[in-house]
Amino acid sequence: MNRLRKYDTLLFFLFILPWIIGFITFFLFPFGTSVFYAFTDARLPGATNFNFVGIDNFTHMMDDPIFLKSLMNTMFFVVFGVPIVTAGMLGLAMLLNFNVKGIALFRTFFYLPTLVPIVATVIIWRLVFNSEFGILNAGLGALGIGKVDWIGGEHTIKPIIIMLQVWISGSGVLIFLAALKNVPRHLYEAAAIDGASGIRRFFQITLPMISPSILFVIIIQTMYNFQMFTEALLLSKGGPNYSAYTFVYNIYKSAFTDLKFSMAMTQSIFLFAVISLVTLILMKVSNRFVYYEGER
Amino acid sequence: MNSRKIAVKASQYTMLIVALMLFAGPLVWMLSTMLKTKAETYKVPPTVLPDTFSLEAFERLFAVQPMMWQWIQNSFIISFFVAAGAVVSSSLVAYGFSRFATKYRNILFPVVLVTLMIPPSIMMIPSYVLFSKLNWIDTWLPLIVPAWLGGAYYIFLFRQFFMTIPQELDEATYLDGGNRWTVYARVIMPLSKPIIMTTIIFAFVNSWLDFLGPFLYIKNPEMFTLSVGLQLLIGQTSQDLPALAAGAFISIVPIGLLYLFAQRYIVEGVVLTGTKG
C-alpha cells in the first residue's frame, strides 16, 4: 500500500510537471531576476557587469521628475478611471438586463468592441477623434462648437483613455449581468408590494446582492489601471507633454531607452508592492460592505 | 398590455438604442471610412456615409504593406499553437490537481491561484531578459512555449470542471483494469468537451488579441503578428485613413466571425475567469 501510494504521488507530479516547469521558468526565475537586479546598477537587460548598490535605487527612485509625473498619472487613472469604468459597466449591464424582445442581439453588439484588437481600437478612436476629419468634431461643429484637438490635448487625453476603457468593458458587463440575473426575483416583488421606489430597490436590494461582483470587478479594474500602458503607448506615445505617461510606460522606458535596467526592476518591485497593498486594503475595507449570501 | 407598460418598454428601447449608437458608432465610422476614397476622407465637413463605395483602400493597404498576408498567417499559426498547448497542458495539470489525494496537492494548488494575482506587467522586463538569454528573441517561442506549460487560468477552469465529474466513473474504470492515464484519456476528457471548447476558443482569442508580448519579443517584421504589423502600418500610412480602417477591419474579422458562431463559449469563459486575458 505504501509503495502504491508513493507511485501515485510520483504520477501526480508527472501530471502537473508542465506547470512546475512553467512556474519555475516563467515565474520564479524572472521574479528572482527582478529582485536581484533591483539592488545592482546594471544598465542593460541581463547585463553581466554590474555592482551591488544596496537600496540606492529605491532611495533615488523619486528623484526623477518624469517618474513622479507617471506616478501621478497612474494615480489619476486608478482614482477616477476605476469608479467611472465600474459604474459604466454596471449601467450597461442594467440596460442589457431589460426584459425586452431582441435583447440577446443587443448583448452581442455591446460585447463586440471588447474583441477588437487594441491596435485596431486605437486606429478606430483616432478616426473618430481626428481633429480635422473625425466624425466627433464634425458633429460638434454642427452644434456650433469649435474644433477640439482631443488626442493632442493635455487635458483631454486621460479622459479619452478612460472612455476607451468603457468602450471595451464588455467583460465586466458580462460579470455584472450574470450577477444581476442571480438576484432573487421575490425580493423585488416583496419590495414592490411594500411600495419601495425603483431607486430604493436599486440601493437596498440590487447593490447589496451584487456587491461581491462589484468588489471583484473593482479589484480587476484597479490592477488593470495600475498597469495601464498599451493604450497610452499606442494612442499618443504617452503625450502630449507626458500627460498620459503611466507607471508601466516609465518602466518600459527605463529598461529599453534610458539604459537604466536596474531602475526598471526597482520600479517593477515598487509597483508590485503598491498593487498588493491596495488590493489588500480593498479586501479589508470591503468586508464591511460586501454581502455574501449564506453568511451569517 | 396597458399604456404604462408600453411607456416603460418604449423608454427601455430608447435607452438601449441610444447606448448602442454610442457603442457601435465608432465601428460604423470605421466601416464608412474604409469604403471611402482617400480624397473623400479629406472633405470638410466629413460625409457620414461614402458618396461612392470603393474597395481601393484594401488595394492600397496590400500595396503599401505586402507583408500583410504574412502577418495574418503568422497570427493564425501562433494562435493555433497557443490554443492547442492550453488544452493539452492545462487539462493534464488540472487532472493532477483534481484526482490525486496527496498532501502536495493542497500545498501546490494555492500556488497556482497566487500566480493569477501577480500583475503581468511586473514580469514584462524580467521575462525579456530570460528570453534573450535563451536566444528566443525574434522567434515565436516566447509566445507559444508558456502556453504549453500550463496557464493558471486554464488549469483553474479545467479543475473546476473535472471536480463536477463523479469519482464513481474513475473507480469503475479501475475495476475494469484501467489506470490513471485511461481515466484521463478515456473518461474525463471525453466528458469535458464543453470546457475544452471554451479553452480552445478563449486561448485562441487571447493570443490573437495579445499586443504587448509580440511587440516586446519580436523585432523582425517577417515574424510580426497582425497586431504588431498594424502598429507599424500606423507609422507608414498615417495619412491614408481608409487604408488604416481597412487594416483595423481585417484584424477584427476572424475574431468577429468566431464570436458570432461561438458566442456561448466566449461568454462562459469571461464569466468563469472574470477576464478576457
**Closest residue by Cα to residue B243 from B28, B27, B38:** B38
Question: Which chain B residue has its CA at the smallest distance from A104's CA?
Answer: B263
Query: Can you tell me the distance from the alpha carbon of A171 to that of A165, in angstroms, rounded to the nearest whole number?
Result: 11
CA distances from A37 to A176, A249, A263, B71 (A): 41, 19, 8, 35
**CB within 8 Å: A16 and B150:** yes
- Residue A2's pLDDT is 66
**CB within 8 Å: B230 and A119:** yes
What ipTM does the predicted assembly reach? 0.89
pLDDT at A131 over 80: no
- Mean per-residue pLDDT, A234-239: 85
Q: Name chain A contacts of B150, Cβ cutoff 8 Å.
A: 16, 18-19, 22-23
Query: Can you tell me the distance from the alpha carbon of B6 to that of A6, in angstroms, rounded to the nearest whole number?
Result: 70
Residues A40-66 have pLDDT tens digits of 888 887 777 888 888 888 888 888 888
**CB within 8 Å: A175 and B30:** no
**CB within 8 Å: B95 and A15:** yes
Q: Are B68 and B91 in contact (CB under 8 A)?
A: no
- Residue A149's pLDDT is 83
Ramachandran assignment for B274, one of left (phi > 0), alpha (psi -120 to 50 degrees), beta (any other): left
- Looking at per-residue pLDDT, the higher value among A133 and A221 belongs to A221
Residues A72-104 have pLDDT tens digits of 999 999 999 999 999 999 999 999 999 888 898
Percent of chain A predicted with pLDDT > 70: 98
Residues A25-45 have pLDDT tens digits of 999 998 888 888 889 888 887
Alpha helix stretches (DSSP H) within chain B: 3-34, 56-64, 68-99, 103-117, 124-133, 141-144, 152-163, 167-175, 180-182, 189-191, 193-209, 212-217, 226-236, 241-273
- Mean per-residue pLDDT, A147-160: 86
- Residue B268's pLDDT is 78
**CB within 8 Å: B102 and A108:** no
Angle formed at CA B12 by CA B7 and CA B13, multiple of 5 degrees: 100
Percent of chain A predicted with pLDDT > 90: 38
* Nearest chain A Cα distance for residue B107, angstroms: 13
How many CA atoms lie within 13 Å of B69's alpha carbon, on the beta-carbon side?
A: 4
Say whether residue B1 is in contact with chain A using an 8 A CB cutoff.
Answer: no
Q: Give one DSSP letter per residue of A130-165, joined into a string.
A: -TTT-HHHHHHHHTTPPP--TTT-TTTHHHHHHHHH
**CB within 8 Å: B104 and A142:** no
- Mean per-residue pLDDT, B108-114: 91
Q: Name chain B contacts of A95, Cβ cutoff 8 Å.
A: 15-16, 19
Say whether residue B67 is in contact with chain A using an 8 A CB cutoff.
Answer: no
Residues B53-85 have pLDDT tens digits of 888 889 888 988 889 999 999 999 999 999 999
Residues A10-19 have pLDDT tens digits of 999 999 999 9
- Residue A236's pLDDT is 86
* Nearest chain A Cα distance for residue B146, angstroms: 6
Question: Which chain B residue has its CA at the smallest distance from A24's CA?
Answer: B149
Angle between helices A157-167 and A82-96 (to 10 degrees): 30
Among the partner residues A19, A120, A272, nearest to B122 by beta-carbon distance: A272
Q: Is the dihedral of CA A232, A233, A236, A241 positive or negative?
A: positive
* Nearest chain B Cα distance for residue A223, angstroms: 7
The cell for B201 is 476558443
pLDDT at A293 over 70: no
**Closest residue by Cα to residue A94 from A106, A82, A83:** A106
State residue B185 phi and psi, 5-degree precision.
-80, -35
Query: Can you tell me the distance from the alpha carbon of A95 to that of B12, in angstroms, rounded to the nearest whole number?
Result: 8
Residue B12 burial by Cβ neighbours in a 10 Å radius (0-12, 13-18, 19+):
middle
Angle between helices B226-236 and B56-64 (to 10 degrees): 100
**CB within 8 Å: B100 and A11:** yes
pLDDT at B189 over 60: yes
Q: Are A41 and A50 in contact (CB under 8 A)?
A: yes
- Residue A1's pLDDT is 52
CA dihedral angle for residue A164, residue A213, residue A189, residue B16, rounded to 10 degrees: 10
Q: Name chain A contacts of B16, Cβ cutoff 8 Å.
A: 95-96, 98, 100, 103, 106
Question: Which chain A residue has its CA at the smallest distance from B147's CA?
Answer: A22
Q: How many residues does chain B have?
A: 277
pLDDT at A288 over 90: no
Least confident range of A155-169, B78-92, B115-129, B179-193: B115-129
Query: Can you tell me the distance from the alpha carbon of A224 to that of A218, in angstroms, rounded to the nearest whole number?
Result: 10
**CB within 8 Å: A171 and B129:** no
**CB within 8 Å: B123 and A31:** yes
- Residue B221's pLDDT is 92
- Residue A296's pLDDT is 43
**CB within 8 Å: B102 and A45:** no
Percent of chain B predicted with pLDDT > 70: 98
Residues A64-77 have pLDDT tens digits of 888 999 999 999 99
Among the partner residues B15, B234, B274, nearest to A220 by beta-carbon distance: B274
Question: Which chain B residue has its CA at the smallest distance from A215's CA?
Answer: B274
Query: Can you tell me the distance from the alpha carbon of B92 to that of B95, in angstroms, rounded to the nearest whole number?
Result: 5
Say whether residue B198 is in contact with chain A using an 8 A CB cutoff.
Answer: no
- Residue B1's pLDDT is 60
The cell for B232 is 507599424
- Looking at per-residue pLDDT, the higher value among A145 and A224 belongs to A224
State which amino acid sits at residue B153: Y
**CB within 8 Å: B93 and A19:** yes
- Mean per-residue pLDDT, A225-229: 92
**Closest residue by Cα to residue A263 from A26, A34, A13:** A34
- B residues 80..109 contacting A (CB < 8 A): 89, 92-93, 95-97, 100, 102, 104-105, 108
- Residue B274's pLDDT is 62
Query: Can you tell me the distance from the alpha carbon of A282 to that of A226, in angstroms, rounded to the nearest whole number?
Result: 14
